[in-house]
Structure 1
Amino acid sequence: MNTSIKSSGKYEILYVIGIIAISFSSIFVRWSDAEVSVIAMYRLYLTNLLMLPLLWKYRKEMFRLTGKQWGLLLFSGLMLALHLLLWMASLRLTTVASSTVILTLEPIIVMFGSFFLFGASINRGMIVGIGLALIGSIAIGSGDFTMSGKAATGDLLSMLGTVAIAVHVLAGKQLLSHLSAFVYNFWVFGIAGTALALYNVFNGFAFTGYSSREWGIFLLLAVVPTLFGHYLFNWLMKVISASAVSMAVLGEPVFASLLAWVLLKESLSALQLWAGALILCGVWIFIRYGKEAPSPKPKKLLATGRKGEVRQ
């Protein structure tokens, strides 16, 4: 379904809930003392555990997938795992403000990728938006480097994590044209969680022995930013435009920075404020004056069920 932002008024409440939900992710990660790969693994596994009661309803669709769909699910899941690993690691090295503001480059990367994958047009407004956002991102990195080399490394990890989540979104955009949000999320969360589990085994990280406080944080991550954040946004991509959904990331640094100021006592430097504003301005220009990428055309290799049927 291809609708404009203006026609999606009835989804505004869910949209705002999703923005606030994902903004809590950085706070919960900073509260935990566990390895970031362990945090991410249990975040995803616990989310799937919470989804189990609905599994019976989608039992027929769960395994009625083509080989290409399985391949895209595997790729999308691996990109999600890489994003969580890199971005969560960045939160241990840089501020919440820097890490989350860099994430606002996601819609730019998604739409730029859509140019090559789906034939989207690129106009002058897009180029201006990209330029401003990149300048702001570089400014944040250089500002952190003058304070700490670790902070600059954290910014780099956040940037790489942003690229990974953008690739994950592009893969999901194609799959969600043919799969229900539940099936897509369940398999992608499971694949990403398993990839992280293998990473933890390889590195010798403990799977048990965590305090009740840590388990509580893992559960909060599963419920708040994953179910009410990522899952919700993936579902919204089926009822409102992809551009509208991608714009949600613009609100994350605002709420996350405020939460970090209140809950973590993090201060905001003048450089972070100005660079963050520049990134937000660039991304807004890019989305406001850019043409939305056309929806990927259904392919027989991806379709499930009867010919011409698109599952919702």
Structure 2
Amino acid sequence: MNTKKSPIPVAVLMLIGIIAISFSAIFIKWSSAPASVQAMYRLLFTSLLMAPFVRPYSGALSALRLKDWMLLTASGFMLALHFLLWMGSLEFTSVASSTMIMALEPVFIMIGSFILYRERSTVSAVAGLGVAIVGVVFIGWGDIGLSSDNLKGDLLSIFGTAAVAVHLMIGKKLVARMPSYLYSLVVFIIAGVVFALYNFGMGIAFFDYPPKEWGIFALLAIVPTVFGHILFNWLLQYTSATTVSMNILGEPVGASILAYALLGEQLTGLQWGGGLLVLGGLGCYLYMGSRKAARVEERKFIHPQELQTLPESAS
């Protein structure tokens, strides 16, 4: 059980993190540079910000085996694929649609965990994810009414979400035997290299961009990555993973509000209905997940003789 107390209230830091990651789609929309270039510099600048603090982990870096490097490369490749597809989706569909679909990340993780690790979820949790999937269908149906490009953007977001789910599942395996900070830095560098090779192969310019674009590249690294994702990772030492994962619900809401205020984007009634189903379904899934985790934690403190007297429903 976690007993450490955060120097700043966790709720305040969570709010800062949600606002920060909500700006990611806004910055991408503001940029006219190719998505692969935006992602490359986002990862490069983030790696440069993290590099000065990696020295305490040098021993863990030298202890990595060939198998670890192969998994790190696979994780970095899937992260690059996620950025390429999701950031590309914003060229075709709205911020709200793309981020609401990306919130389906737990669905892909649940499916992958069952296939690879035989991890089972409760019926209530699966039902919640089923409701969320219906919500995505509503969003896509609403986008069809706008244009075929919007549907293309939705599909790119779905595939990008599947890619990041694979990235996270590989990460789950690796952080069990290496520091998460080191894992993040190495994967960011590998994904950045993947993008550099992609841009070179596609003949995409590396440097021919106006100052505004370089500013956006830097903002993508600092705001949603450092004050968003890295902040959430840091919060894991003060609160549960389930609590931190609630940012999955916060990002679509924050991004939609910012897109309305800063980009003038509006959704149809069908899309709003789909969005509510997505957030409600995921909320149910996360709530049931937290209850299951609490029961498992509680069982750790029950004496074996007492455990034998528990009814079957407690297992």
TM-score tier after normalising by the smaller chain length: 0.7 to 0.9
Tell me: CA distance 1:195–1:91, structure 2 relative to 1, closer, same or farther (3 Å). Answer: same
Amino acid at match of 1:87: W
Report the Cα offset of residue 249 of structure 1.
1.1
Instruction: Report how far residue 268 of structure 1 moved.
Output: 2.4
Shift of 1:10: 5.0
Q: Which moved more, 1:108-117 or 1:267-276?
A: 108-117
| Distance change >3 Å, CA 117–CA 232, structure 1 → 2 | farther
- Look up the match of 2:114: 115
Q: Is residue 47–residue 223 contact of structure 1 (8 Å, CA) maintained in 2?
A: yes
The answer on 1:253 being equivalent to 2:239 is no
Which residue does 1:93 correspond to in 2?
92
Residue range with higher mean Cα deviation, 244-253 or 60-69: 60-69
Percent of matched pairs sharing the same residue: 50
Tell me, yes or no, if the aligned pair for 2:142 and 2:268 is still in contact at 8 Å: no
Question: Which one-letter code corresponds to 1:206 in the other structure?
Answer: A
Instruction: Using the TM superposition, give the Cα deviation of residue 3 of structure 1 relative to its aligned residue in structure 2, in angstroms.
Output: 5.5
Secondary structure (helix, strand or coil) at the match of 1:284 reads helix
Q: Distance in 1 between matches of 2:283 and 2:184?
A: 28
Distance in structure 1 (CA, Å) of the matches to 2:53 and 2:62: 15
What's the TM-score once normalised by structure 1's chain length?
0.87
Distance 1:65 1:250, change over 3 A: same
d(CA) in 2 for partners of 1:90, 1:49? 27
Match runs of 1:1-312 below 5 Å: 11-237=10-236, 240-290=239-289, 291-292=292-293
Q: Which protein is bigger by CA-based radius of gyration? A: 2
Structure 1 residues 209 and 19, CA, compared in 2 at 3 Å: closer, same or farther? same
Specify the SS of the correspondent of 1:251: helix
Q: Are 1:181 and 1:231, in contact at CA under 8 Å, matched by a contact in 2?
A: no
User: Quick one: which amino acid aligns to residue 189 of structure 2?
Assistant: G
SS in 2 for 1:93: coil
Q: Tell me if the contact between 1:27 and 1:260 (Cα under 8 Å) persists in the aligned partners.
A: yes
The farther-off stretch of 13-22 and 96-105 is 13-22
Matched residue type, 1:275: G
| Backbone CA RMSD of aligned residues | 2.3
**Separation in 1 of the partners of 2:121 and 2:134?**
19
Tell me, what secondary structure is at the counterpart of 2:246? Answer: helix
| Residue deviations 1:166-214 (CA, integer Å, cap 9, x gap) | 1111111222222222211110100111111111111100001111110
Question: How many Å separate the matches in 2 of 1:277 and 1:152?
Answer: 19
1:13 Cα offset (Å): 2.9
Q: Given that residues 39 and 218 in structure 1 are in contact (C-alpha distance below 8 angstroms), is that contact kept between their aligned partners in structure 2?
A: yes
Partner of 1:302: none
> Shift in Å at residue 45 of structure 1?
0.4
Contact residue 138 and residue 273 of structure 2 kept, 8 A: no
> Structure 2: any 5+ residue segments left out of the alignment?
298-315
C-alpha distance in structure 1 between counterparts of 2:234 and 2:60, whole Å: 16
Using the alignment, how far apart are the partners of 1:174 and 1:110 within structure 2? 13
CA distance, structure 2, for counterparts of residue 292 and residue 165 of structure 1: 23
The one-letter code sitting in structure 1 at the alignment partner of 2:174 is L
Distance in 2 separating the partners of 1:62 and 1:162: 29
